């Protein structure tokens, strides 16, 4: 087993054009299989950090390395491919394309990533079987799978989004406030399902939220404010 971290940030600095530096993260690491709670209020640069981790934005200085690969050294097309091959995303709400069926939504990453399609094949025999298995594990009733995604409740939608993030076993799952639209009971239930599935897929989980109460469920909890050495913004 390699001891290299999955995600490795070194002396990262980022500023939006014409603005003071928003992020300065000297060091940050995420190990393989680890689940990390990253706490940060809105406006703290969370979304920007996620953009940097996904290679959608590039750091002004320093490096973001995923699986040892410096994202900035890849071309934009290669970066897009690298992201979908190795990262699954779950967002706060409205994660799904309403006009596709539940199963089609889950299959989307396999359509854009050959690697994830192959892995789904290797582990479950086919993409369709992988979808069945993931949705089943996440407790989504079978009769909903061919329904349009727009017909689901928010809790169901988030479970479908989790299945989509996990299909094809990406090394990293990034969840950005996925539970904020859920009530307290379903919040914890959703998290336990997410943990179990990440474990089964061998994926690390980076969970970003402002809700401190969830932190104890994770392997490790950090605050973005502690991580970020950039001068705190005033007036927000």
Partner 1 sequence: MPLLRLALASLANRRSTVLLTVFAIGLSVCLLLTVERTRHEVRASFASTVSGTDLIVGARSGAVNLLLYSVFRIGNATNNIRWESYQHFAEHPRVKWAIPLSLGDSHRGFRVLGTSEAYFEHFRHGRQQALQLAEGRPFGSEPFEVVLGAEVASSLGYRLDQEIVLAHGVARVSLTHHDDKPFRIVGILKRTGTPVDRTLHVPLQGIEALHVDWRNGMPARGAGRVSAEQARQLDLQPRQITAFLVGLHSRVSTFALQREINQYGGEPLLAILPGVALQELWSLMGVAEQALFVVSLFVVLIGLVGMLTAILSSLNERRREMAILRSVGARPWHIAGLLVMEAGALTLAGILLGLALLYLGLFLAQPPLQSHFGLYLPLTPPGVYEWGLLGAIFATALLMGALPAWRAYRQSLADGLSIRL
Token digits for 182? 């859920």
Nearest to 59 by CA among 77, 72, 44: 72
| Residues 131-190 within binding reach of partner 1 (CB under 8 A) | 164, 176
- 16 interacts with partner 1 by CB under 8 A: no
Residue 79: C-alpha distances to residues 75, 208, 209, 212 (Å): 6, 22, 26, 32
Query: How many residues form the binding site for partner 1 (CB under 8 A)?
Result: 30
- Residues with Cβ within 8 Å of residue 110, at least 6 apart in sequence: 116, 117, 120, 127, 130, 167, 168
| Residues 196-215 within binding reach of partner 1 (CB under 8 A) | none
Binding part of the chain for partner 1, among 109-117, 136-144, 191-199, 210-218 by CB under 8 A, reads: 109-117
Sign of CA dihedral 140, 141, 147, 152: negative
| Residues 77-96 within binding reach of partner 1 (CB under 8 A) | 77, 80-81, 83-84, 89, 91-92, 94-96
Q: How far apart are the first and last CA of the chain?
A: 44
Binding part of the chain for partner 1, among 64-72, 102-110, 185-193, 213-221 by CB under 8 A, reads: 102-110
- 228 interacts with partner 1 by CB under 8 A: no
Question: How far is 197 from 174, CA to CA, in rounded Å?
Answer: 13
Residue that the structure tokens 């709400």 belong to = 93
- 97 interacts with partner 1 by CB under 8 A: yes
Closest to partner 1 by CB, 78 or 231: 78
List contacts with partner 1 (CB under 8 A). 47, 50-51, 54, 56-57, 76-77, 80-81, 83-84, 89, 91-92, 94-100, 104, 108-109, 111-113, 164, 176
């Amino acid at each position: 087993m390699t001891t290299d971290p999955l995600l490795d940030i070194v002396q990262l600095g980022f500023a939006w054009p014409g603005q003071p530096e928003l992020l300065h993260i000297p060091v940050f690491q995420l190990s393989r299989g680890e689940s990390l709670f990253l706490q940060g209020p809105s406006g703290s640069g969370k979304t920007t950090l996620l953009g940097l981790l996904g290679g959608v934005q590039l750091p002004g200085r320093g490096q973001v390395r995923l699986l040892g690969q410096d994202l900035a050294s890849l071309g934009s097309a290669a970066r897009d491919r690298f992201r979908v091959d190795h990262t699954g995303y779950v967002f706060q709400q409205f994660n799904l394309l309403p006009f596709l069926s539940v199963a089609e939504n889950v299959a989307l990453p396999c359509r854009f990533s050959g690697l994830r399609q192959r892995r789904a094949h290797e582990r479950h025999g086919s993409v369709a079987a992988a979808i069945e298995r993931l949705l089943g594990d996440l407790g989504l009733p079978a009769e909903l799978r061919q329904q349009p995604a727009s017909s689901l409740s928010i809790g169901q939608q988030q479970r479908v989004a989790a299945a989509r993030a996990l299909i094809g076993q990406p090394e990293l799952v990034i969840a950005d406030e996925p539970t904020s639209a859920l009530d307290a009971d379903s919040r914890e239930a959703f998290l336990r399902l997410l943990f179990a599935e990440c474990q089964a897929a061998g994926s690390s989980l980076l969970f970003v939220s402002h809700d401190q109460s969830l932190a104890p469920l994770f392997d490790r909890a950090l605050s973005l404010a502690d991580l970020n050495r950039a001068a705190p913004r005033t007036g927000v």
